[in-house]
Structure 1
């Protein structure tokens, strides 16, 4: 049975830099999703030496783009929506990934046991954990990697 991060981690991953404009990051999310054949919901952010600097997710970007006056949404006409969306998209051109990313990132090692990974993901409400050893990113474990590994075990029984 696969029992450690190294057994279930994804070694193919996409990264961004803190200087990447958020508008470019959105395009890269879409491009990576096409390349992977599955939706990409977050990416690791690396510094100039390739070390992990943070994580950015679609949630971080959507939170930034969200209009501030949510109390008036019920009074808005559908005709107002395109202008609001355009304004939100325009905002992403002047903001960098480093401004929105989470810089305090939980990481695991290649030897971290899958039940420890499960415990971290549940307790900390995270869906992805970078696998790092000696400052180098080796891969990433997604909640789906963990789920399907455990699901495969159920199928064997």
Structure 2
């Protein structure tokens, strides 16, 4: 499904200069979900848990049909999934924000990092890292993932838990 371009958005008529945006971004919902999850952990406030859950519900709704990556969000209608872009940051942030060391493969985002690493790796001379867009033939028409991927993973450092709430 093709998403029409966003029409020009007029500034608010109240003189504030604010502009209404109707699209929804996966990365913003991951950020909000993680923020309110931390606030809930620190304060125990049920409202924080509800807000975190709502944000992660949206993020989970952006998981691709093959369950391997997340889409960038919605188009201007706030409903249609925008499949034109697959940003690397949401693949990693989703996994980091929702990671549970007691059940690492139970995360709905368990495969997003590997998917991004295998499709968004780039080499430029002596430098190797993440590209801004997938390098699969389907995405670019010419490049393929590096054949040496994934590299050996270093040992995971221990996580220091937050101090108990007082």
User: With structure 1 as the length reference, what TM-score do the two structures score?
Assistant: 0.26
Q: Which of the two has greater strand per residue? A: 1
**TM-score by structure 2 length?**
0.25
